[in-house]
């Protein structure tokens, strides 16, 4: 796949959502919920980017299976996951959310205590509203 940079989304709010594994139960639920609430996120000018250490091919298959309309990015070399401080000792990404404003500044960050938990979209949308 092509390289994606945050600067590609300058002028847009971005929700960078780190997830542990494509096709795992909680990740499947989470990405499906993002898709169900896509219009609400779009209405607030937010571009969702899912990101995991899975290969490009795994995330492509995962996105196709779920029918998601937002990118699922592969951080196979774990550089971005490490840069954001969410690489777990066991080598995969913790579930974490970063809300980045139009200028590229992180406005909100939440790292889940365990990968088996996720935030509700209602809470993320509330953070989007408060980060104006």
110 bridge partner residues: 97
Give 58's contacts (C-beta < 8 A, 6+ positions apart). Answer: 22, 23, 74
DSSP string, 1-56: -----GGGGTTSEEEEEE-S-TT-HHHHHHHHHHHHTHHHHHHTTEEEEEEESS-H
Per-residue pLDDT band for 36 (boundaries 50, 70, 90) equals: very high
Which candidate in 15, 16, 22, 27 is catalytic? Answer: 27
Q: Is 27 a catalytic residue?
A: yes
The structural domains of the chain, ordered by start, are: 12-130 (3.40.30.10)
- For residue 12, what is the enclosing H or E element? none
pLDDT in tens, 56-65: 999 999 999 9
pTM for this entry: 0.93
φ/ψ bin of 2: left (φ > 0), alpha (ψ from -120 to 50), beta (otherwise): beta
pLDDT in tens, 58-111: 999 999 999 999 999 999 999 999 999 999 999 999 999 999 999 999 999 999
Percentage of the chain surpassing pLDDT 90? Answer: 78
Per-residue pLDDT band for 4 (boundaries 50, 70, 90) equals: confident
């Amino acid at each position: 796949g092509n390289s994606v940079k945050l600067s590609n989304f300058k002028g847009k709010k971005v929700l960078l959502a780190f997830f542990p594994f494509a096709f795992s139960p909680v990740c499947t639920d989470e990405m499906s919920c993002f898709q169900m609430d896509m219009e609400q996120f779009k209405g607030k000018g937010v571009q969702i980017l899912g990101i995991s250490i899975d290969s490009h091919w795994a995330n492509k298959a995962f996105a196709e299976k779920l029918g998601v309309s937002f990118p699922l990015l592969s951080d196979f070399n774990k550089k971005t996951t490490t840069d954001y401080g969410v690489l777990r000792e066991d080598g995969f990404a913790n579930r974490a959310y970063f809300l980045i404003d139009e200028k590229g500044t992180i406005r909100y960050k939440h790292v889940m205590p365990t990968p088996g938990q996720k935030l509700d979209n209602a809470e993320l949308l509330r953070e989007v509203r408060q980060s104006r």
